[in-house]
Structure 1
Amino acid sequence: MVSAGDNRTRRDRDAPPRRADAERSIAAILAAAFDVLGTNPAASMTDVARAAGVGRVTLYAHFSSRAELLKALVHQVLQETRHILDTSLADNRPADQVLAGIVQTSWRQLDRHRRLRQAVLAELGSDWVADQHDQVFARLTELLTRGQDEGVFRTDLPTSWMITTVYGLLHAAADEVDTGRVSSADVPQLVIRSLLPSLAG
C-alpha cells in the first residue's frame, strides 16, 4: 500500500516536468504569435495554435483570449525594451549620443513588430498600451534629465513632452514605412536628425 506521504512525494517529483512542459508550450505559442501576428494582424487564435504546433485547448489553457495573448506579447517586448534602456543608461557617453543609440535599437525592435503593433492598438487601445510604458518612460526620463544636467538637452521643455516627441517620431516613422513612403533602413537617421536638434540645449 502507498501512503499519503508517498503520494505527495510522487506528485512533487512529477511537478517539474509538468512545469517544464507548460513553459515550453508558452514559449512556442509566443514565438508563433510573434510570427503569425507579425505577418497578419487579423490572424486568429486557431492560426496561432496551428503555427505553434499545439491544440486550441492547450492554447486557451495558457491564454484565455486573443487579448490576453496580445498582452503577453506586449509585456515580452517591453521587457526587451527595458533591457535595451538599462544597457544604454550604463553608457557613459554624452546623453544625446546615448539617445541616438536608443533610437537605432528601438527602431529595429519596433520595425520587427510593426504589424503586431497594429493588432495591439486595434484590440487593446492606445490608452492601455501607454499605461504599460511607465518603467520605460522612467528610464528615458533619467536619460533626458542627465542630458539636461550635461547641457546637451534643453531645459525649457518638460521631460514628459520630450519623451512624447521621441515616441511620436518613431511611431510616425512606422506609419510612413507601412505606407511605403519611407524605407525602413532610412528611419533611424531620419529620426535622429529630426529629434536631436529639437532637443538640443
Structure 2
Amino acid sequence: MDSGHEQLFHDVAKALVANPGASTSGIAETAGVSRATLHRVFGDREALVESVYGWLLDLCDEVFDAAGIDSGEIGPALERLIEDCYPLAQSYWLLTATPRLEREPEIGDRLRKQDERLENYFARGQEEGYFRTDLTPKWMSYSFGGQVMSAWYLVEDGYAGELEVPRLIREATFGGFTAKGN
C-alpha cells in the first residue's frame, strides 16, 4: 500500500474511532477528504468499515510477525510486542464499537487466528518457564489486550502520553498490581 492510501486508511480509522456511527459524509469530513474519494476507494459505508478493520488486522499481523510471537525467543518477543502494540488499540476499540464486524466470516476467522497466535505464544512461554502457569494463556491474551485498550483510553482522555504506554504495559505485565514484596 502506498503512503497516500496508508494515510487515508489511518485517517478514516481515526474518524471511525471518534464516531463509529458517523455517516460517510461525516467520516470524509473528519478524515479531511471528499465523500467521492471515500466512495472511489471503498465503495459503500459498510465496505469502508470492513476495509479499514481489515487494514487494522493487517497491522496487528505485522506487529505479531515483527515481534516473533510464533517462534522467536519469548522475552524479546514480549518486549517488542509491548513496544509496538499501542497502535493496535484502535482495532480493539473499533471492534468493540462495531460488534457486527466479528460476525463477518473473513474478519471473524482472522480475529480467531490472531487470538490463537497470541494464546499459543503465551502457552509456549509457559512451557519454557517464562510465564506463570497458574494463569491460562487465554487469560494472559485477554489481559494483555485489556492493558493495551486501557492505555489507549488513558492517552485519549489526556492522562498519559503515547510515549509512556510501553512503560505502563511493561510494569503491569511484569510487576502485576501489588507492591513489591506483597
| TM-score calculated relative to the size of structure 2 | 0.71
Deviation at 1:36, TM superposition (A): 4.6
Counting only pairs closer than 5 Å after superposition, residues 41-52 of structure 1 correspond to structure 2 as 41-42=18-19, 44-46=23-25, 47-48=27-28, 51-52=32-33
* Identity %, equivalent residues: 19
More helix, by proportion: 1
- Cα deviations by residue, 1:42-85 (Å, 9 ceiling, x for unpaired): 354235289445627x71784322x3312211111111211221
2:102 alignment partner AA: W
Q: 1:30 to 1:59 in 2, by over 3 A?
A: farther
- Cα deviations by residue, 1:159-201 (Å, 9 ceiling, x for unpaired): 1111011001110111111111122211111111111234xxx
Counting only pairs closer than 5 Å after superposition, residues 19-38 of structure 1 correspond to structure 2 as 31-38=7-14
- Cα deviations by residue, 1:88-127 (Å, 9 ceiling, x for unpaired): 226643x1331121021111x236x4xx8656543x1388
| TM-score calculated relative to the size of structure 1 | 0.66
Q: Distance in 2 between matches of 1:48 and 1:151?
A: 49
Q: Does 1:152 align with 2:145?
A: no
Q: Distance in 2 between matches of 1:135 and 1:99?
A: 19
Deviates most, 161-170 or 80-89: 80-89
1:10 aligns with none
Q: 1:117 to 1:158 in 2, by over 3 A?
A: closer
Structure 1: gaps spanning 5 or more residues: 1-22
1:34 alignment partner AA: H
Counting only pairs closer than 5 Å after superposition, residues 110-125 of structure 1 correspond to structure 2 as 110=88, 113=90, 121-122=96-97, 124-125=98-99
2:150 alignment partner AA: A
2:36 aligns with 55
Q: Distance in 2 between matches of 1:53 and 1:127?
A: 25
Structure 2: gaps spanning 5 or more residues: 177-182
SS in 1 for 2:131: coil
**Structure 2 residue aligned with 1:72, among 51, 62, 70?**
51
Q: Distance in 2 between matches of 1:140 and 1:104?
A: 16
Work out which of the two has the higher radius of gyration on C-alpha atoms and give 1 or 2: 1
Deviation at 1:30, TM superposition (A): 6.9
Q: Taking CA–CA contacts closer than 8 Å with sequence separation of 6 or more, which of the two structures ends up with the larger relative contact order?
A: 1
1:168 alignment partner AA: G
Q: Is the 8 A contact 2:60 2:88 kept in 1?
A: no
Q: Distance in 1 between matches of 2:76 and 2:54?
A: 27
Q: Does 1:85 align with 2:64?
A: yes
Aligned length: 166
1:4 aligns with none
1:13 aligns with none
1:141 alignment partner AA: E
Q: Is the 8 A contact 2:126 2:132 kept in 1?
A: yes
2:111 aligns with 133
